[in-house]
A = this chain, B = another copy of it.
């Protein structure tokens, strides 16, 4: 309830500032450029609306963290949307890299406008994220601004390192779970930890609390990704008989698969024989479960969730926003299968 109420005031502020920033490209002669971004952000084109925008988890995390430090969250909105724009830049490029046709049920930018324009549209979102971040110097002392900028840029470097590993892993046979954790630390956790850390910096938290919030975002990201891996094999949409949405069919080297491969049993044997067909997804997920991967993965989600919540408690978040952060973590990490 507390979360819903805060979201009621934060989400419109986030959306307004996102719109304002993207409208920097709204010039005569570049309407189509602007349209590519408004389409991707979920505001225009077929299927536009709340389902298309995504949940804006990253800016919410930043603003809730800022507010949980007993600070006014309004001046932090530019920084918060900067993080959402970075997330969206990475999605646009990711869709090209993975050759994904659909994102949230809609055609991806590269499918609509071609690869060259989509690369450039992703670049533009990244550039806009920096312009948004520049805006915080109106309300914060320069030292805080510089600190926030460095955290964001380092998170971006970790993000691209994670992306490098993810693309590399497609070609590699002998992946370990260590490789996996390193990849998702960059690809998923780095930006989420930047959200909570930047929120804490702008909220005036001391060094120890900043570190606790950073750690909260980090483990939240890891837990979220491992849960996503779990659902990709044992979730409803992965198991609906004819489903092609199973990560097994996609050949994704997720944590359960790496566990199965390390066991070198029946699952590993079938995996190395080549592409898994949709009708095998059910039986193979059952086999993986028997070999222990389901329990192992669920344990990993639970461990990361515990670490996230421990970190959040250590940060001693205050007031309604503090409560809302616990609610948000529980909402993201709730068992869906």
Contact = CB atoms under 8 A, between A and B. Distances in A.
B160 A124 contact: yes
A134 B145 CA distance: 11
Interface string A155-169: 011001101110110
A126 interface: yes
Interface in A72-121: 93, 96-98, 115-117, 119-120
A128 B161 CA distance: 12
Contacts of A46: none
A140 B206 CA distance: 25
19 contacts: A29-B179, A29-B182, A30-B164, A32-B168, A33-B164, A93-B119, A96-B115, A97-B115, A117-B167, A123-B126, A124-B161, A124-B164, A126-B126, A127-B153, A127-B157, A130-B156, A131-B150, A131-B153, A142-B142
A137 interface: yes
Contacts of A143: 142
Interface residues of A, number: 45
Interface of A: 24-25, 27, 29-30, 32-33, 93, 96-98, 115-117, 119-120, 122-124, 126-128, 130-131, 134, 137, 142-143, 145-146, 149-150, 153-154, 156-157, 160-161, 163-165, 167-168, 179, 182
